[in-house]
Amino acid sequence: MVNLVLSLLAAAWVFVWGIGVWVICKHFLTVDIPAAIGHPMKLRVLDCLFLMTVTWGSIFEKLGICSWPRFVRFVHDLLPLRKEPDLVVSDLRFGTVPVRLYRPRAASPRRRTGVVFIHGGGGVVGSLNTHHGICCHLSKESDSVVLAIGYRKLPEYKFPFPLRDCLVATVHFLKSLNTYGVDPARVVICGDSVGGTAAAVICQKLLNSPDLPKIRAHILIYAALQSLTFQLPSYHQNRKVPLLSRNFDFYCWHLYLGINPSWKSTIMKGAHLPAKVWAKYGKWVGSENIPERFKKRGYQQMPPEPLNEDAYLETSIILDVKNSPLIAEDDVISQLPEACIVSCEYDLLRDHSLLYKKRLEDLKVPVTWYHMEDGFHGVLNTIDMDFLYFPCSTRIMNVVVKFLKGL
């Protein structure tokens, strides 16, 4: 009996060790770390840790225990939360939507700016806990009331449920500003990654809501703003850069929209949309709108291949502005509030920010733009990670705080 137990323990140890070796090998075989990113070993460690949790999650999924996204979120929620004595942090529910409210403890002679914060994670990972440190910094350093929204996620909840949760919580907050000491003339919507998608969409949705306070500004941090094309320069240049590879981005994209992944090759070649669609929206999403300096790391524009009608029938949902806020009509974009846009050079979604910035500027919407030359997707989350901290995260926080203070 003792020998059996020892054998099982030895087998388990070999299995665990083997998983670790496999993760490290996969990382070095599939990942590209640009030389310009400071502290490349930190980024390698971050990517390996994420890949490790995804791998174990996939094992549990195959065993029928839980989906891998649920496992990854479970692990993330085990991380200790930042303690901030200068803030009052409250976990609440707006209807059925969990939210977390951050308020400076000190009294204020006037009503504060209110920030609705929608976290990223591709709709798959991320939670109120993973972005807790970010919200603490945001509230404390800008002296703002921050509302973080814990929307439902994949794979259980696809479009439009996550967006609907964000909209419901935002409207509830806007109707309760007096309760939280927020100035109705200074309410800002902020989001990172897919949270930036929701922030842009909500700004558009609330433009003609006379019974609600007007949104003062929106802040988009390496946001996803269009779903039409995977052919932009940043998709080629940064396709293997952590923490958002092109493969993981496509996984989140197809799962969120309920599109069969077998269309991946067709979509990557641009054969999923007809010529009339490219003609209509190409003026906004075409790579010719990207400044030449962002193409220097290598890019060759490829024309879309002939249309696959079946692919178009299944993927036409991407033309919904709730999935691609960048392609809203001029009369909508021109009414949007002032924007603060943060982009990162080594981010798969970098060109989304550049295209959105151009659309706003062309329609005379005020834009404050910051570009992080050494930044990568998800870097802001390292702001409280001690030895895995990247200075770029503090620079992003500083520019966002500066923007909020200037409103």
CA angle 148, 163, 328 (to 5 degrees): 115
Could you identify the residue written with the tokens 């990517």? 47
377 catalytic per annotation: yes
Which residues make beta-bridge pairs with 101?
90, 147
Q: How far apart are CA 331 and CA 329, in angstroms?
A: 6
Residue 390 · residue 39 · CB < 8 Å? yes
Name the DSSP letter for residue 122: T
Three-state DSSP state, 74: helix
Residue 47's closest CA among 69, 29, 73? Answer: 29
Single out the catalytic residue among 127, 343, 377, 393. Answer: 377
Q: How far apart are CA 279 and CA 284, in angstroms?
A: 10
Q: How far apart are CA 81 and CA 89, in angstroms?
A: 11
Lookup: tokens for 12: 């388990």
Q: How far apart are CA 259 and CA 273, in angstroms?
A: 14
Q: How far apart are CA 388 and CA 223, in angstroms?
A: 23
Three-state DSSP state, 323: coil
142 catalytic per annotation: no
Cα–Cα distances in angstroms (integers) from residue 20 to residues 6, 73, 77, 262, 319, in the given order = 21, 20, 22, 30, 41
Single out the catalytic residue among 347, 351, 352, 353. Answer: 347
Q: Which residues contact 209 (CB under 8 A, 6 or more apart)?
A: none
Which residues make beta-bridge pairs with 94?
97
Beta-sheet pairing, 97-104 with 145-149: antiparallel
193 catalytic per annotation: yes
Single out the catalytic residue among 193, 324, 343, 353. Answer: 193
* DSSP element (H, E) containing 244: none
Catalytic center residues: 193, 347, 377
